[in-house]
Chains A and B, each alone.
Chain A
């Protein structure tokens, strides 16, 4: 079964064709990163304007890269939650239109579950049950995955998402947007042990996260005693150490909670997905901890961690197999 996937939940317009939930026949992503960078974050109205322009070129390319016409497509899967409402609406409108036009089944896909499914598009897919960590600009969620379409939420962030914390600290340090890769790059020349930023633990047994205290600690460190300053004076003399120490604190917290979840649920495998799963130190630490504990750690390649439609098409296939198709009245759900 060949599934056309469509993804427009945030600032990437993406379409892909995946065969039987495993083989990626095409994977097209048009990123709007440059469009939003001067604003220091995603501007929803700009994102939506770009989506409506990119939709058809991206769809057309996804089919031609796969060497197919719409006749060769058996179902259309689309992200309907969570994300920017105006952006989700556009992918869903296009998906419904294609389904009505060509008599194809429609499948609504949860973007966060799709991030987990990215690991199933690799040569050695995980075997459920496993723990799943989804880390992105909008989410920091831990799940117990019993099946690719059955996830129990174990914990999530009570304030900033981890990607948001990277963006805010990057902005504080004058590194620009997007924060994740910029902080990681700055941290390469720094000492992760130079500064001891807080690792927030929310009560015994809690698998939730909190990053706002960490972000504030970085601010206090950089502006020193001068509380009237909203942004620290530049240049920041120990910027690489600040970046490296902040990143180390984030990674420590993510890795600690994740393996607590693995232990609590007796899981034998772990999946990490989402844009922040591109972070090098996070990948290394998860892999090392997993190896030390005999836990299989599945980290999708970076281009499947950032937003893409292959993961949507792949999960869409699994949902279709389970009879979980949608009808033309499918509504978007901006918050999960």
Chain B
């Protein structure tokens, strides 16, 4: 199975190609919100360099949030239109699932990527190490299994959800550094802070093999929260 994967949820976007679970190539864009300009030319170039034609791609995998609303939408709209125009499959992969893959090998039993979500909130989710992976099923199963939901919460609300020993990382820690200085939380040399399209491709491969597919007509970004306008209107209506 040939997969083309997009990750545009943060400030460093990327595209990757993978075949039967093995990474073929990956290209990261220059930093900044340039996803709209870079995405399709990068895909075209990688496909050509791999000796494929675009119709060879069986599945378009896309990081579907949470993250930059605009960035995620560009990735999702692109993947939807490609899947529709070619009659191929599509799979949305949560950006935090892909980001968790950046955790170092010695991260311990639990990791929590924390992404700055503005509005005094962070996007986060807690992941536990998958024992099956260590038992030898390397590459066949996910390394990290999500415990609970994808969150968009104030950092104070995240803290009680972090079990002792959790390895935390991500740009969401910068603004709230003091809050997260809890002696039982683990920090290490900071792993890469941007989810990679290669991780999106790898996770999509595992899901696709298990028979999972999204409907291109129905796939929407994971925003995790209403718009600012809806929140303000809602609180006005209550008063």
Contact = CB atoms under 8 A, between A and B. Distances in A.
Contacts of A57: 217
B43 interface: yes
Nearest to A46: B227
Interface string A244-258: 000000000000000
Contacts of A59: 81, 84
Contact of A45 (B77, B84, B227, B233): B227
A97 B73 contact: no
A102 interface: yes
Nearest to B79: A97
Interface residues of A, number: 36
A214 interface: no
A95 to B, nearest CB: 8
B134 interface: no
Contacts of A43: 227, 229
B41 A39 contact: no
Interface stretch (A144-152, A283-291, A326-334): A326-334
B85 A102 contact: yes
Contact of B40 (A45, A70, A96): A96
Contact of A331 (B37, B54, B85, B221): B37
A195 B77 CA distance: 50
B81 A94 contact: yes
A96 B78 contact: yes
A55 interface: yes
B69 A53 contact: no
Interface stretch (A85-93, A178-186, A301-309): A85-93
A52 B221 contact: yes
Interface in B70-87: 70, 73-74, 76-82, 84-86
Given A55-B77, A94-B78, A48 B84 contact: no
B69 to A, nearest CB: 7
The 8 A-B pairs at the shortest CB distance, nearest first, are namely A97-B81, A101-B85, A94-B81, A328-B40, A43-B229, A45-B227, A93-B77, A96-B40
Interface of B: 36-41, 43-44, 54-55, 69-70, 73-74, 76-82, 84-86, 216-217, 220-221, 223, 227-230, 233
